[in-house]
Chain A
């Protein structure tokens, strides 16, 4: 198992709708990701890059194909087992932040720990620590409405890494942010990859953001078009 990759997709397809209206978003994806990697997934709109992220995050199920996570065949898991996989191994950052409204930063960040059943004291300490790590010390009791977009995304990142996940999945994390804030967010994500060894998969269509990754996978039309290391020629 040690030589198996962290994530392996083989022949993944995803079809939306039926019959005449059917649309194939993914036409057979093969992809392997090793632990500790920082992968940027790029491609034009409709290329299927977000769909593959949702499948990787067990938020959506593929129409066919096989998805192995740490040697476990995900398509054989039940709905609850997939939820537990998300709870224990995955962290999410979305373009739209997806924080709970009218809920303080601290409560948003401790939410995954509540589902993990962490006791109150440990939960609070870990949540405060995560907020400090994303540079939001002193903002614990502000609600999303009182925070800027960049700050909201920092809260979302804190929520994603507070459980020390094996994999951080980020779907256009800087899509709603200005250039400077985007850079700061990318620095943060890169730092968690570098310092905590969290594997990062990030969807983006901005080459500047993809430049932070060490590997770039390009999707075109539901297929992997290119897959190369940053710094390689091209």
Chain B
């Protein structure tokens, strides 16, 4: 009986190709939209957290000032002595990289490129998870004497040198020329959307002497030792800096201590909200698809009721008729769901590539969208049939 009923259901689908196609279409669009949106949202979240982890794990950043943006209070910058104090007194710190940033234009032959020059030490590369693509980092002598040497990011190399190898050449920054001793491996966009490779790194002393002209230090990047609690280090840092900056007991900090986990949480929570928003918009399209199916089924209810009358008249049992319609609905809805999943997968992979975010297959949303669409198909395909199959055959036949 099941086999024969399956045959009848497939025949009914073939017989009503247009209706079947429209039914499937609604499901396909809804399922594809929901899955694509959620998959891309997940990819964006993953991309953000990946980029944050590329900043280096166990990283604590200390910046003067309390807030970003409007209302930011100007606070005294750190000095070289603060760096030394942190290095010697914070025992949980594996390394401490002081950073000074200055924007400047770098020139090589006829090419010039406006970029950011960072003054720091070799610890900067380690704390930031940077690796060399070519050349070397600073020697101790270069750091101590503040020689004009630099390590450049991949974007700067591309803009100034094109296909030429940069190492060993001199670039000019403001009034001085500076030998390129190393090239960094490209990292791509940061979590905030800026180009991490667009930079030139020089020894701290070189920048302080030749570019900023002061002993000021913009921020400290501190890598915490393995096995030491980040919170302990943060507490020690806060205590030490409050003391060094003479902050009274009842006053607030005039500096910020942040770790990468906090930054990651802030940013991923934003993309998660966006994912939910996109998913909700797409869910509306799934709902609209469902209403479309309902329309098609209701429009065809007269024809179907008469068909049911004919089947009952020639001796079909009520349950055989119902099983046929159920199979029909399930086959159509599942087919629509599967096509929707296939389209969503293709679209997600394509769009993820385009947006340079990873493609992550999310089983949960695929199953959810599939079963939701199947439920819509079954409800709107099956229940009108159930009413018709319960009629007297003659009433079903005479249905207008």
Contact = CB atoms under 8 A, between A and B. Distances in A.
Contacts of A94: 397
A83 B317 contact: yes
Interface stretch (A40-48, A57-65, A131-139): A57-65
B310 A98 contact: yes
A111 B307 CA distance: 12
Contact of A88 (B11, B315, B316): B315
Most buried by A among B1, B16, B313, B314: B314
Nearest to A107: B11
A165 B15 CA distance: 28
A57 B320 contact: no
A115 B314 contact: yes
B4 interface: yes
A117 B7 CA distance: 12
Given A54-B394, A98-B397, A100-B307, A83 B316 contact: yes
B392 interface: yes
B392 A61 contact: yes
Interface string B305-329: 0110111111111111000000000
Contacts of B310: 98-100
A102 B15 contact: yes
Contacts of B397: 59, 94, 98
A102 B315 CA distance: 21
Contact of A57 (B15, B16, B306, B313): B313
Contact of B392 (A60, A86, A102, A116): A60
Contacts of B8: 114
B393 interface: yes
A202 B129 CA distance: 93
Contacts of A88: 315
Interface string A91-134: 01010001111110001000110111100000000000000000
B265 interface: no
Interface size class of A (residues with CB under 8 A): 20 to 34
Nearest to B309: A98
A84 B4 contact: no
Nearest to A89: B315
B313 A92 contact: yes
A50 to B, nearest CB: 9
Nearest to A58: B393
A61 B395 CA distance: 11
Most buried by A among B4, B16, B315: B315
Nearest to B11: A107
Contacts of B15: 100-103
Contacts, number: 73
B243 interface: no
B89 to A, nearest CB: 87
A53 to B, nearest CB: 10
A54 B313 CA distance: 10
B140 interface: no
A141 interface: no
A115 B16 contact: no
Given A54-B394, A117-B1, A80 B303 contact: no
Given A98-B397, A115-B4, A84 B392 contact: no
B11 A117 contact: no
A116 B320 CA distance: 11
Interface string B1-34: 1001001100100011000000000000000000
Nearest to B303: A101
A60 B313 CA distance: 10
A57 B393 CA distance: 10
A59 B313 contact: yes
A114 B4 contact: yes
A164 interface: no
A154 interface: no
Interface in B328-351: none
B11 A86 contact: no
12 contacts: A59-B313, A59-B393, A61-B392, A84-B315, A90-B315, A98-B397, A102-B16, A103-B15, A111-B311, A111-B314, A115-B4, A115-B320
Interface of A: 54, 57-61, 79-80, 83-84, 86-88, 90, 92, 94, 98-103, 107, 111-112, 114-117, 159
Interface of B: 1, 4, 7-8, 11, 15-16, 303, 306-307, 309-320, 392-395, 397
Considering the complex of A and B, which 9 residue pairs feature the smallest CB-CB distances, nearest first? A87-B315, A59-B394, A59-B393, A86-B315, A112-B314, A60-B394, A102-B15, A54-B394, A83-B317
